[in-house]
Amino acid sequence: MASAHCPALFLVAPASGQGKTTITAALARLLTRQGKVVRVFKTGPDYLDPQILEQASGQPVEQLDLWMAGDAWCQQKLYEAAKEADLILIEGAMGMFDGTPSSADLAARFNIPIAIIMDVKGMAQTAAAIATGLANFRSDITVAGLIANNCSTERHRELIEEALPDSLPLLASLKTSDEVALPERHLGLVQASEVADELELRFSAGADWLEQSGFSGALNGFEEVCFESADIAVVEPLLTNIRIGIAKDVAFSFIYDANIRLLQAMGASVHYFSPLADDCLPEVDALWLPGGYPELHVEALSKNKPMLAAIKAAHQQNMPILAECGGFLYCLESLTDLNEEQYPMAGLLDGHGAMRGKRGCQGMQSLPLPEGELRGHAHHRSRSHETPEPIAYGKRQRHAANGESIYREKQLTASYLHVFFPSNPRAIAAIFNPKGILNA
């Protein structure tokens, strides 16, 4: 088994909202500005943070999740990154021990040292106590130090540093800065494509912010981590000559790059189109309508009658279609936005969608489809009603209650679930090429 060595750092926090993405993006930009190749990964099924981190680093960003993607897949991706990078950064999700598997589980599995990011506003020695507790909660992780975010003064820094044990150094103290904070909306960060120019200003300010703290110098002391290659199954050419149309614009953008690469590895050609701007579909054999923010563009989507008619015609002609979350809402008869305005949608499936403010659903689930079981996750703040009887329900990772409803109408497969295609390539091939898979 081949191996590659590369310094790596896992950036975690005691909770969400501590500044992980802001600091990870700023560090990626600072090191990139210094001429280093930085490969960044994001823990868990996140779409928005990777967009930000990709722009900051200038390199592709992968999602790592031991449950959704699998141990071998994560191992191989880290190995491939280690072969080309000067440094690997991994941004955790939620709190460092939250979830099963957690960020700490991933760090422990691959022996990656951890830096704890903590918003220390309103506390001093208590921040040291919390960080010490996190560092010693498990014996199978290595914590390299603490990054104190929103550390207001030099005296504030001294109080925290003096309270830390020698085994837990203060890697950096970062003063509050409105210039580096990343823009947000109801499902998390704003998509990078919508605010690319603004992000450049914030990345530059963030790099200066970290450089002034001396944090980049602390990275020089990290030892290299050994990453080994994994035994990954060879991808079968089950989608040879299949043309797949993929909705992609500001309304539909929740697309794992790993999904695209898998489709192409199986022989498919991908053809992007915009449900917002285009008036016809490309010449394709199947469609993928991924998630995104259709609720923010619902009026424009509804007014694009030629595209709605084209998608409905494709469905009536029995074209295979996979619709996920926002794509599922687009397939319903109507969608009601956050202003409680209702707009007609494609009408491929009976039922209506409506946004519901801050309440929503999220979590890891598997999809028990006739083609095979896939893995993915739900993350939405809308509801659907008056829909048909589902063919199945998502299976929650750690709860017996039914997960998201899964619908099948002709060759449309629709649900709120976002699917990670590499979790079962053969099942994905069967969805997009049902006739071909029967003959394979």
Separation between Cα atoms, residue 57 and residue 24, nearest integer Å: 10
The gap from C-alpha 110 to its chain's centroid, in whole angstroms, comes to 20
Please give the positions annotated as active site: 325
Separation between Cα atoms, residue 148 and residue 160, nearest integer Å: 8
Residue 31 parent element (H or E): helix 20-33
Cα atoms found within 13 Å of the Cα of residue 63, Cβ hemisphere only: 28
Separation between Cα atoms, residue 336 and residue 353, nearest integer Å: 6
* C-alpha dist (Å) from residue 239 to 24, 285, 427: 37, 11, 11
- Each as own residue / partner, the long-range contacts of residues 232-235 (CB below 8 Å, 24 or more positions apart, any chain) are 232/72, 232/73, 232/76, 235/262, 235/265, 235/266, 235/425
* DSSP secondary structure letters along 325-353: THHHHHHSSEEE-TTS-EEE---SSS-EE
Instruction: Identify the three-state secondary structure at position 107.
Output: helix
Residue among 71, 36, 83 nearest 57 (CA): 36
Angle between the N-to-C axes of helices 257-265 and 425-432, in degrees from 0 to 180, rounded to the nearest 10: 80
C-alpha torsion sign, points 157, 160, 166, 167: negative
411 and 319 Cβ atoms separated by less than 8 Å: yes
Burial of residue 391 (number of CB atoms within 10 Å: 0-12, 13-18, 19+): middle
Q: What is the dihedral of CA 295, 300, 301, 302, to 10 degrees?
A: 100
Q: Which residues contact 181 (CB under 8 A, 6 or more apart)?
A: 22, 202
Q: What's at 197, amino acid-wise?
A: D
Residue 231, number of CB atoms within 10 A of its CB: 8
Among the residues of 214-355, which ranges form H helices?
215-218, 257-265, 298-303, 305-316, 326-331
